[in-house]
Amino acid sequence: MSAITPHVPPQSAQPQSGSRHVTATIALACVGVFVSYLPVVGVSVALPVIQQALDASTAGLQWITDAFILPTAALLLTCGMIGDLYGRKKTWLAGLALSCIGCLVCLTAGGVVQVCVGQALTGIGTAALLPSTLALISHVCPDHRKRATAIALWTASLGLGLTLGPLINGVIVEHTSWRWIFLPSLVIGLVTVLAGAVVLTDSRAERERHLDIPGQLLAMVAVTGLVYGVIEGGSAGWGSAEVVIAFAAAAVGLLAFVLVELRSPCPMLDMRLFRSSAFSGAALVMALTLFAQVGLVFALSEYFGLVHHASTWDIGVRLVALNGFTVVLGPLVGRLMNRTSPGLLLVAGLVVGGVGALCVNLFHASTGTGEAALVIGVLGIGIALAIAPITTIAMNSVPHRLAGTAGASNSALRQIGSALGPAVFGVILTNRTLDTLPGHLAQSGLSPADQGQVNGLVSNVGIQAGAFLHLKTPETTGRALSAYAASFTDALHTCAVVGGIGMLAAAVVALALIGVRARPAHDTGGAAGAVIHPADAAAGDLS
């Protein structure tokens, strides 16, 4: 196949119609997103083991998670544009290759910094995979009904990676080093690259586009400054110079990004997309939902590991319902979106998920596996009902020719929310545990000397140290561990309230900006069957 350059005449908008080609494209797109998300939650549930092996601090653990998410969020829009410009297949292949390299770096890691480097490379690969997979699906499925079904499968594949990751990693950690948790993604990725190189057909945007370097740089400043400020604010203090500078850089970067994109002849993020209230609503809902979901995964993983002293396998089993229902219910949700309003499913899912998150407040230090699974299952059902409709609404609310940009924008908001989740919830866990620990220690019957020893250790070493306390006698150690468990559970409850309110707020946003009734597409080239809010009629043409 000849190389595609910015100056080659645009391809035909008509995708190949062969059913085998369509099926193969959808399958490879699903495998691509599966590979990129397989280690995400798997790494999260292994954090207690990684912390002990590498002697990592709470901030270090947050950076291990966010080292993946930050480059994903910062580079998604640019990678979407690169795919439109040079070819979605090429971008897809490059993304898988980078993911494999990142896994190889983590596989040989000897410290936190190398793990973060590997995670960052994998995140860059994921930034290329997410918009290219959605654009490949959109290209071969111009019909909105087939596209909704394909997107539901894509979402289920993402959920399958999130579900199987903890279970696979649990088995690996039980029998060998934590480093090998990155091997499955490496092997599957290499096989998929070879298959995709042979099977996939390339596509690109009809109109000529150019890389938006100023927009990319400003987006990186805004996203990185925000997440860095949140993470370091919890340890260095919210008034410290570096934190204030980080937040100021984020604010200035965001404002400058919007101004640059509005004036750019070929913007990385086409601000006209936000003329559609349905697209704007989907973008905000996606950020809020992933903020709550990924943040709660981080908090629950730490809770089960540090309070229950559960193994990586046990943590994976307890969290399997959180993403497992996305896989199980994916085909059903796809069919329901063709029979009812995606907005209705979205709002219902967000309400159910919000209630499930708030029910985490029922957890205590000795909560049984069955009770925890029931609550997590309710949260998982809500997420399963919400995720596919969010993506479908975003893709269907804009003209077909902007599907690639819409997919990249949707995924970018997904990753920004995902990045803020561990950052904010990690700060909450640390601060709330430290705030409540003295009170629980005072009620434990420990001597003032023992109380001071425990407080000093947890404050100076990190809250993870509280799970491995050893005092002079087994009795005093037991009392100290009970006080620590109660404090950490209090912190988990605060995370549950934040997550639950976040999802319920997303439901209100969905009601206001998207609505729950199916609406016909406008006549400006939007995808058939798009969900369009009446306010969009005044938004003007997106062409």
Q: How confident is the model at residue 17 (pLDDT cuts 50, 70, 90)?
A: very low
User: Are residue 313 and residue 186 in the same domain, yes or no?
Assistant: yes
Q: How many CA atoms lie within 13 A of 35 on its CB side?
A: 35
Domain count, the chain: 2
Range of the domain at 163: 19-200+266-436+487-521
User: CB under 8 Å to 480, separation ≥6 — which residues?
Assistant: 441, 444, 446, 450, 454, 469, 471
Query: What does the pLDDT look like over 464-501, one tens digit per residue?
Result: 777 778 888 889 989 999 999 999 999 999 999 999 99
Output DSSP code: residue 526. B
Q: How confident is the model at residue 118 (pLDDT cuts 50, 70, 90)?
A: very high
User: CB under 8 Å to 135, separation ≥6 — which residues?
Assistant: 80, 83, 84, 88, 203, 403, 404, 407, 408
User: Are residue 54 and residue 177 in the same domain, yes or no?
Assistant: yes
Residue 293 has pLDDT above 60, yes or no: yes
d(CA 211, CA 80): 10
Q: How confident is the model at residue 283 (pLDDT cuts 50, 70, 90)?
A: confident
Residue 253 is predicted with a pLDDT of 92
Query: What does the pLDDT look like over 325-364, one tens digit per residue?
Result: 877 887 788 788 878 888 899 999 999 999 999 999 999 9
User: Are residue 300 and residue 180 in the same domain, yes or no?
Assistant: yes
Does 393 reside within a domain? Answer: yes
User: Are residue 252 and residue 312 in the same domain, yes or no?
Assistant: no
> Could you give the percent of the chain with pLDDT greater than 70?
85
One-letter amino acid of 185: S
Does 462 reside within a domain? Answer: no
User: Are residue 48 and residue 170 in the same domain, yes or no?
Assistant: yes
Residue 175 has pLDDT above 90, yes or no: no
Residue 520 has pLDDT above 50, yes or no: no
Secondary structure of residue 447 in the 3-state scheme: coil
User: Are residue 274 and residue 255 in the same domain, yes or no?
Assistant: no
SS (H, E, C) 4-29: CCCCCCCCCCCCCCCHHHHHHHHHHH
d(CA 386, CA 374): 19
One-letter amino acid of 241: A
**E strand residue ranges, 271-402:** none
User: Are residue 312 and residue 246 in the same domain, yes or no?
Assistant: no
DSSP character string of 329-340: SHHHHHHHHHHS
pTM: 0.72
d(CA 272, CA 281): 14
Q: How confident is the model at residue 402 (pLDDT cuts 50, 70, 90)?
A: low
Mean pLDDT over the full length of the chain: 80
Query: What does the pLDDT look like over 374-386, one tens digit per residue?
Result: 999 999 999 989 8
Helices (H) and strands (E) in the chain, counts: 17, 0
Does 11 reside within a domain? Answer: no
Domain boundary among 229, 245, 265: 265
Query: What does the pLDDT look like over 415-466, one tens digit per residue?
Result: 677 778 877 898 899 889 999 999 999 998 888 988 888 888 888 767 777 7
User: Are residue 103 and residue 159 in the same domain, yes or no?
Assistant: yes
Does 466 reside within a domain? Answer: no
Secondary structure of residue 201 in the 3-state scheme: coil
DSSP character string of 149-185: HHHHHHHHHHHHHHHHHHHHHHHHHHHS-GGGGGHHH
User: Are residue 295 and residue 424 in the same domain, yes or no?
Assistant: yes
**CB-CB neighbours of 331 under 10 Å:** 13
User: Which among 51, 58, 294 is positioned nearest to 162, based on CA atoms?
Assistant: 294
**CB-CB neighbours of 447 under 10 Å:** 11
Phi, psi of 171, rounded to the nearest 5 degrees: -65, -45
Q: How confident is the model at residue 18 (pLDDT cuts 50, 70, 90)?
A: low
User: Are residue 110 and residue 224 in the same domain, yes or no?
Assistant: no
User: CB under 8 Å to 127, separation ≥6 — which residues?
Assistant: 71, 72, 73, 74, 75, 76, 78, 79, 95, 415
d(CA 102, CA 97): 9
d(CA 38, CA 33): 8
Residue 509 is predicted with a pLDDT of 93
Does 325 reside within a domain? Answer: yes
> Could you give the percent of the chain with pLDDT greater than 90?
24
Does 441 reside within a domain? Answer: no
Quote the tokens at residue 91. Answer: 């971008």
User: Are residue 253 and residue 115 in the same domain, yes or no?
Assistant: no
From residue 457, how far is each of 382, 426, 453, 460, 462 by CA, in Å? 39, 18, 6, 5, 7
Q: How confident is the model at residue 209 (pLDDT cuts 50, 70, 90)?
A: low
User: Are residue 258 and residue 311 in the same domain, yes or no?
Assistant: no
Tokens 């996203």 correspond to 223
Question: CB–CB of 203/15 below 8 Å?
Answer: yes
Does 299 reside within a domain? Answer: yes
96-100 average pLDDT score: 93
Q: How confident is the model at residue 159 (pLDDT cuts 50, 70, 90)?
A: confident
Does 529 reside within a domain? Answer: no
Domain CATH for 392? 1.20.1250.20
d(CA 93, CA 109): 25
Residue 10 is predicted with a pLDDT of 37
